[in-house]
Amino acid sequence: MNAYEVYYDCGGSSGNRTVVFAINEAYIPEELEKKDNHFEVDSRWCKIVRVKQVPLSTVKLTDLSVQDLLKILGK
């Protein structure tokens, strides 16, 4: 499991940022869609602008959802 800092645009909003946990970069769009209700993989208005892998030790607890925390704990 890797942590990625993802910058993305959705519909009317741009400059969104979140931390996504995925096995590799190929799974980021699907994981982002699960985390943000406004992001849709197949939408022409939604796109990922930049992806940066970050160490798990630098991810803040405030950036995690309950689902993310359970993934890290392996449950």
Q: What is the pTM of this model?
A: 0.85
Q: How do residues 47-57 score in pLDDT, each as one tens digit?
A: 999 999 999 88
Give the mean model confidence (pLDDT) for residues 19-27. 93
**Domain range annotation of the chain:** 2-73
Helix, strand, coil percentages in the chain from 3-state DSSP, rounded to 5: 35, 35, 30
Q: Is 32 exposed, middle or buried (0-12, 13-18, 19+ CB in 10 A)?
A: buried
Q: Give residue 40's identity as a one-letter amino acid code.
A: E
Give the mean model confidence (pLDDT) for residues 5-23. 91
Give the mean model confidence (pLDDT) for residues 14-36. 92
Q: For residue 15, what are the contacts with CB-CB under 8 A and spacing of at least 6?
A: 7, 9
CA separation for the pair 56, 72 (Å, rounded):
9
Tokens read off for 6: 């993802």
Query: Is the confidence at residue 27, as pLDDT, over 80?
Result: yes
